Amino acid sequence: MKRISSRLILMLALAAPLAAQAHGYIDAPKSRAFMCKTQENTACGAIQYEPQSVEGPKGFPAAGPADGTIAAGGLAQFSELNVQTPTRWKKVALKTGALDFSWYFTAGHMTQDWRYYITKQGWDPSQKLSRDAFDLQPFCIVKGGFAPPSNSHATHRCTIPANRSGYHVILSTWNIADTGNAFYQVVDAQIQGGAAVNPQKVMINPFK
């Protein structure tokens, strides 16, 4: 009995570091968490050291982090990310139409999919992020093939809706296939209107 227990403990000990490394974040356009790492956002707390670790329950919007905690993936240690005002976060300048989102992975997970959501036109940027603030129909879905990403980056070509302008928050969820969790990233965007380059959802398979 002791021998079996020792083996189990050893297996868990070996698996833990791998699980801890299997994280990721959006580095282009720069996410809120990533700009904490680069110190373009300040007074961020612990997230500046590990922007890849915003991991919470998957299933958004039906499940997942509670309203008011979405930006931090429901994690109390990253609660600074949940602060929401019109001026709190540095914004990236974007245009409507085709846009490439780049995820950086510290290690891979078996992937169900990535989903991208955007706040509604006329949302209130002075309130913490909630489901009511978002269009709950994702504007882009990239299938994961139930396989880990093949390298350290994956690029997803999506289309920013043409009817958005001004300050918006883009939420991306990286939904893991073999756990009950997902990784959450938000991008603070200042959107300029313009004709969509490609009105179709374009999905680049990172597993080729």
What confidence category does residue 18 fall into, taking pLDDT thresholds of 50, 70 and 90?
Answer: very low
Q: Is the pLDDT of residue 207 over 90?
A: no
Superfamily of domain 24-192: chitin-binding protein cbp21 (2.70.50.50)
pLDDT (tens digit per residue) in 133-178: 999 999 999 999 988 887 899 999 999 999 999 999 999 999 999 9
Please write down the HEC assignment for all residues of 95-162. Answer: ECEEEEEEEEECCCCCEEEEEEEEECCCCCCCCCCCHHHEEEEEEEEEEEEEECCCCCEEEEEEEECC
Q: Which residues pair with 105 in a beta bridge?
A: 24
Q: Is the pLDDT of residue 20 over 60?
A: no
The share of the chain scoring above pLDDT 70, in percent, equals 82
Exposed/middle/buried for 161, CB within 10 Å: 0-12, 13-18, 19+? middle
pTM for this structure? 0.84
Residue identified by tokens 């499940």 is: 63
Q: What is the mean pLDDT of residues 90-112?
A: 94
Bond preceding residue 65 cis, omega within 30 of 0: no
Task: Please tell me the least confidently modeled range out of 3-12, 89-98, 130-139.
Answer: 3-12
Q: Is the pLDDT of residue 6 over 80?
A: no
Q: What is the mean pLDDT of residues 67-76?
A: 99
Tokens of 180: 């009950």
Reference 202, options 115, 113, 141, 146; nearest CA is 141
Distance between CA atoms of residues 201 and 198, nearest Å: 8
Distance between CA atoms of residues 113 and 55, nearest Å: 15
Distance between CA atoms of residues 21 and 109, nearest Å: 10
Q: What is the pLDDT of residue 27?
A: 98
